[in-house]
Amino acid sequence: MINNDGPHFGDALVLVHGSKPVVYNNPGKFYNFSAAEMHGNNLNLTECEVYQVEETKELERPWRTVIWESEMRTELIESIKSYKPSVSSVSQVRVLLIGPAGAGKSSFFNSINSVFRGHVTSQAISGISTTSLTTQFRSYSLKAGREGKPLPIILCDTMGLEENAGSGLATDDISNILEGHLPDRYQFNPSAPLHSEAHGYCKSSDLKDKIHCVAYVTDACSVSIMSTKMEEKLEATRKKVNLMGIPQLVLLTKVDEACPLVTEDVRNVYRSYYIRQKMQEVSTRLGVPLSCVVPVKNYSEELELDPNCDILLLCAVQQMLRFADNYFDEISDQLSNMEVKE
């Protein structure tokens, strides 16, 4: 029941009709509901909850150092363009993007592509949907400008992970992607993963065809309500990746939607106490070190580039390349040990 004087400042009223929650935020004022607003002219109101909304805390100093200057943006771009894998047989690092449907995998590619094209792009299909909009395996090669040379990184986009069995990206297909067996534009079939005798299966794959780094893409707004089934799917995937010795990081997307401080200015991302909490939470849930969690803001509604947003995105790519270097170092060490034994 709700008191006659209604909730006061700092409260958010949540009315749950069936399974659909409706949130009413009305700071500093009383709530006046008509019958239709209160229970939708039906009696399917199953819960009524009042939550205290806390003021967003700003840390005195950023807990990670980022240089928010145009020179840094230029330096990051040039560093990425000039990067060369330490293994001569590989010319481009292949990074696999994995995550729930709608987390921002395709949007991340579009955002990175936008930075290097100099304007907002929308090459990969992205948007809002309860199921994955990506139905094919795509290997996106980035270019430095419209007519520029390919960059030394390929972002591999996949169908989104979904809770229910037989839907979303199949675990067996993840193994095939990691090993380099899936061809570009392979059409995913959640109920029937690609097998070794199927048409299009790449039986022989070299190091250049395999995945060199895995990035789990997670929505900052949904970390706390991630279902047990989704956690289990991500854990099963992480174990597969660990067995193959592939480095992993987490891209925490939609940080601007999750925190008003970051909405106001993306440079506040490492000053936001709330975003730090979300990063620590996703670190615990996915079982990766906090140092492997990187916040980003994808381009979603903008028509022009934001230099500060670019810097955050480019820092994420820089980490991917650094992690890939770690992978190549391990490969080189293994090869050296084999030669010594022979």
Each residue of 95-107: pLDDT tens digit? 999 998 888 998 9
The percentage of residues in the chain with a pLDDT greater than 70, rounded to a whole number, is: 73
Instruction: Between 165 and 291, name the one with better pLDDT.
Output: 291
Highest mean pLDDT among 53-57, 115-119, 122-126, 224-228: 115-119
Residue, of 4 and 105, whose pLDDT is higher: 105
Position 133 pLDDT exceeds 90: no
Look at residue 7 in the predicted model and tell me its pLDDT. 38
Using a pLDDT cut of 90, give the percent of the chain over it. 49
| d(C-alpha 322, C-alpha 316), whole Å | 10
Mean per-residue pLDDT for 38-57?
56
- d(C-alpha 208, C-alpha 139), whole Å: 13
For the chain, give the number of residues: 342
Rounded mean pLDDT, 76-84: 96
Q: Give the three-class secondary structure for 191.
A: coil
**Unique residue bearing structure tokens 């009413």:** 24
Q: What is the pLDDT of residue 57?
A: 86
**Least-confidence region, from 44-48, 81-85, 243-247:** 44-48
Question: Among 29-43, 62-76, 234-248, where is mean pLDDT lowest?
Answer: 29-43
Q: Report pLDDT for 97.
A: 95
pLDDT value at residue 36: 56
Write down the mean pLDDT value for the chain.
81
For residues 72-92, give the mean pLDDT: 95
Residue among 128, 73, 106 nearest 313 (CA): 73
Query: pLDDT for 219-276, tens place per residue?
Result: 999 999 988 988 988 998 999 999 999 999 999 999 999 999 999 999 999 999 999 9
Classify 87 as helix, strand or coil: coil
3 state SS of 301: coil
CA distances from 150 to 83, 85, 142, 264 (A): 12, 14, 6, 34
| Per-residue burial over 74-92, b = 16 or more CB atoms within 10 Å of its CB, e = otherwise | eebbeebeebebebeebeb
Determine whether 128 is exposed, middle or buried from the number of CB atoms within 10 Å of its CB (0-12, 13-18, 19+).
Answer: exposed
User: In the CATH scheme, what is the code of domain 70-341?
Assistant: 3.40.50.300
Secondary structure (3-state) at 95: strand
Structure confidence by residue, pLDDT tens digits, 173-208: 888 889 888 877 777 665 566 666 666 677 778 899
